[in-house]
């Protein structure tokens, strides 16, 4: 009797972030579809950083799940979403799109510690919702005016939580990191793998393929 292996369930990533896509690719996971959720990312009144990250990750997942539900090819899909928040104390830093906003972030982070929270939300084919929040602590060197100006000129900060990208030039500003590096980039890999594996997604399907 021929036994055919059941095709794996599709994986939808509720993001268009090249960083999150690259991180998943690093551990051998390639989403079947990218469905970025264009939602409002402004903090609610008196909202704390942890709560904001959880809320936005879940909202992104739900928006992407509704979009996936309209595509028969994505029937029975897992939907993975994440949101990263940078905070100094209770103050939530923006994801700046203009230079002045990014400069304000860098001046605030200069010479001090801050926290990076990434919330992951996974919606399963069986309708379950699984969430995980990961926290890392980062300390920046004291930045000179010229260092800030040169970094701003790079444009690397655009759309990044806190106005910097640790995987880029801003890595040179980091004096100390406690916790997950991939969390600061935008997707904590250990926790993401555990979340997917715990819901029976085959996280090792492509590990036997030759590395690129």
Beta bridge partners of residue 133, listed in sequence order: 119
Residue 94: how many CA atoms within 13 Å on its side-chain side? 14
φ, ψ of residue 173 in degrees (nearest 5):
-90, -10
Q: What backbone torsions phi and psi does residue 135 show, to the nearest 5 degrees?
A: -120, 135
Sort strands 11-13 and 78-88 into parallel, antiparallel or unpaired. parallel
DSSP 60: H
> CA-CA distance, 42 to 93, in Å (whole number)?
10
Active-site choice (32, 71, 83, 202): 83
Active site residue 83: yes
Q: Would you name the residues annotated as active-site residues? A: 83
């Amino acid at each position: 009797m021929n036994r055919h292996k059941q095709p794996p369930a599709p994986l939808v990533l509720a993001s268009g972030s090249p960083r999150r896509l690259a991180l998943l690719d690093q551990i051998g996971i390639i989403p079947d579809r990218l469905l970025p959720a264009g939602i409002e990312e402004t903090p609610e009144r008196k909202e704390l950083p942890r709560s904001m990250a959880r809320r936005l990750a879940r909202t992104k997942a739900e928006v992407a799940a509704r979009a996936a539900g309209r595509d028969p090819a994505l029937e029975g899909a897992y939907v993975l979403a994440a949101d990263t928040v940078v905070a100094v104390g209770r103050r939530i830093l923006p994801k700046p799109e203009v230079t002045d906003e990014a400069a304000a972030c860098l001046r605030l982070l200069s010479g001090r510690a801050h926290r990076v929270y990434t919330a992951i939300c996974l919606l399963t084919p069986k309708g379950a919702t699984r969430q995980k929040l990961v926290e890392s602590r980062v300390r920046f060197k004291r930045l000179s005016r010229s260092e800030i100006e040169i970094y701003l000129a790079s444009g690397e900060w655009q759309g990044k939580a806190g106005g910097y990208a640790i995987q880029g030039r801003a890595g040179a500003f980091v004096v100390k990191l406690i916790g997950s590096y991939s969390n600061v980039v935008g997707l904590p890999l250990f926790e993401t793998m555990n979340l997917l594996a715990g819901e029976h997604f085959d996280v090792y399907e492509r590990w036997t393929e030759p590395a690129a």
